[in-house]
Amino acid sequence: MLKQFLNFKLSQKLSPQQIQLMKLIQLPTQAFEQRISQEMNENPALEKGKEEVNEFDQDINDDYQDNIDETPEINIDEYLSDDEIPSYKLNANNYSADDQQTQMPYASGQSFTQHLMQQLNTYRLEESEKEIAKFLVGSVDESGYIRREIADIVDDLAFTQNVYTEEAAVESVLKKVQELDPAGVGARDLQECLLLQLQRKQQNKSVVLAYSILNESFDQFSKKHYKKLLQKFSISEEQLREAIAEIESLNPKPGGAISGNTRMVEHVVPDFAIQIVDGTLELTLNGRNAPELHVSREYANMLKGYKESKDKSKSQKEAVLFIKQKLDAAKWFIDAIKQRQQTLFVTMNAIMHQQEAYFLSGDQRKLRPMILKDIADTIGMDISTVSRVANSKYVDTPYGTKLIKEFFSESMKNDQGEDVSTKEIKKILEITISEEDKRKPLTDDKLAKILKEKGYPIARRTVAKYREQLELPVARLRKEL
Residue intervals in the chain for CATH 1.10.10.60: 412-478
The answer, yes or no, to whether residue 190 has pLDDT greater than 80, is yes
Instruction: Please name which of 263, 288, 314 lies closest in space to residue 97, comparing C-alpha atoms.
Output: 288
Residue 390 has pLDDT above 60, yes or no: yes
Q: What is the pLDDT of residue 55?
A: 45
pLDDT mean over 220-226: 87
Mean pLDDT for the stretch of residues 336-347 = 88
Q: Is the pLDDT of residue 228 over 50?
A: yes
Mean pLDDT score, 269-290: 88
pLDDT band at 334 (very low <50, low <70, confident <90, very high): confident
Identity of the residue numbered 103: Q
| Percent of all residues in the chain with a pLDDT value above 90, rounded to a whole number | 9
Q: What is each CA distance from 221 to 191, 229, 253, 471, 476, in whole angstroms?
A: 11, 8, 18, 20, 12
Q: Which of the pair, 92 or 174, is modelled with greater confidence?
A: 174
What is the chain's alpha carbon radius of gyration, rounded to the nearest angstrom?
Answer: 33
Select 412-478's CATH number: 1.10.10.60, 1.10.3210.10, 1.10.10.410, 2.30.30.30.
Answer: 1.10.10.60
The 3-state DSSP class for residue 409 equals: strand
| Cβ-contact 112, 255 below 8 angstroms | yes
Three-point CA angle 396, 400, 404, nearest 5°: 55
pLDDT class of 21 with cuts at 50, 70, 90: confident
Look at residue 9 in the predicted model and tell me its pLDDT.
61
Indicate if the pLDDT at residue 348 is higher than 60: yes
> What 3-state class would DSSP assign to 384?
helix
How, if at all, do strands 293-295 and 46-48 pair? Answer: antiparallel
> Which range is least confidently modeled, 105-119, 210-224, 305-319?
305-319
Query: What does the alpha-carbon distance between residue 47 and residue 37 come to, in Å, rounded to a whole number?
Result: 10
**Angle at which helices 29-42 and 314-354 cross, to 10°:** 170
The enclosing H or E element of 284 equals strand 280-285
Cα separation, 399 vs 411, in Å, equals 24
Q: Is 268 a residue whose pLDDT tops 90? A: no
Q: State pLDDT tens for residues 76-133.
A: 444 444 444 444 444 444 444 444 444 444 445 567 888 888 888 888 888 888 888 8
Per-range mean pLDDT, top range of 11-15, 67-71, 270-274: 270-274
Count, residues in the chain: 481
Whether the CB-CB separation of 47 and 293 falls below 8 Å is answered with: yes
The more confidently predicted of residues 465 and 107 is 465
Better pLDDT: 246 or 423: 246
> Which pLDDT does position 102 carry in this prediction?
46
DSSP string, 37-79: HHHHHH-TTEEESPPP--HHHHHHHHHSGGG-TTSPP--GGGT
